[in-house]
Amino acid sequence: MPGDLFAAADSVIIFPRAIAFALKILVAITGATGALYAQRLLDNLNPREHEIHVVLSNYAPQVIAVELPDGLRLPAGVPIHNLKSMNAPFASGSNPPDVMVVIPCTMGTMGRIAHGYSEDVLLRAADVTLKEKKKLILVPRETPLSLIHVKNMELLLLAGAIILPANPSFYSGADSVQQIVDTVVARVLDHIGVPNKLAPRWAEEKE
């Protein structure tokens, strides 16, 4: 994996042995366009409060290189796991993540998850998340949708996944791409269970 695709923060967080994290969160990034969605999610997850892990699909680094010129910025101390390693601490039902977010999610990844293919740790983790009744959030960014896509979404919804398409809202008065992206990321954080004020709520009184 090209080393210049990722930039870590300057400081390193050393966690005390007894620290109790609120949630174990796995962020999976695939090769769909929309790498900024993943970046903004990582920007708004606090590794002091949650145990955060990252895994990338085979094609994700190429998309990141095109769409994030400064590379993917990782919170200090957050590890990226090798796609082919089944030793990751979320690849077994005995140690599942509390929440897994695939953001952005390609239709290919969605189809493989829907049909139980688990040939790498990203897909295996999604399988584990579903079978252990944990929260799997998929953020597809595709249009138009074929019947195959819709049927795969149906299977996943029946299995308990949350399908949260990257459909931004515009009532916030966003005036930048990042602010538009944040309207989607705010909904992802809502479904993870992380409080946030990333985007205004509908009919919310202004402070």
CATH code of 52's domain: 3.40.50.1950
Domain membership of residue 15 (yes or no) is no
Domain membership of residue 113 (yes or no) is yes
DSSP 8-class letter at 87: T
Domain membership of residue 28 (yes or no) is yes
DSSP 8-class letter at 57: -
Number of domains in the chain: 1
Domain membership of residue 84 (yes or no) is yes
β strands within the chain, DSSP E:
6-8, 24-29, 51-56, 72-74, 80-81, 99-105, 135-140, 162-163
pTM for the model = 0.89
Domain membership of residue 201 (yes or no) is no
- Residues 6 or more apart in contact with residue 54 via CB below 8 angstroms: 26, 27, 28, 29, 42, 74, 78, 79, 80, 81
Domain membership of residue 204 (yes or no) is no
Output the CA–CA distances (angstroms, integers) from residue 199 to 50, 85, 174, 185, 193, in the order listed: 21, 36, 9, 9, 15
pLDDT digit string (tens) for the chain, length 207 residues: 444 566 554 444 444 444 567 999 999 999 999 999 999 999 999 999 999 999 999 999 999 999 999 999 999 999 999 999 989 999 999 999 999 999 999 999 999 999 999 999 999 999 999 999 999 999 999 999 999 999 999 999 999 999 999 999 998 888 999 999 999 999 999 999 999 999 888 887 555
Long-range contacts formed by 62-66: CB under 8 A, 24+ apart: 62/31, 63/31, 63/32, 63/33, 63/35, 64/5, 64/29, 64/35, 65/2, 65/5
* 48 and 76 Cβ atoms separated by less than 8 Å: no
Domain membership of residue 125 (yes or no) is yes
pLDDT in the model for residue 18: 42
pLDDT in the model for residue 1: 46
In the structure encoding, which two tokens stand for residue 180, read together?
């538009």
Question: Which domain range does residue 165 map to?
Answer: 3-10+24-192
Domain membership of residue 200 (yes or no) is no
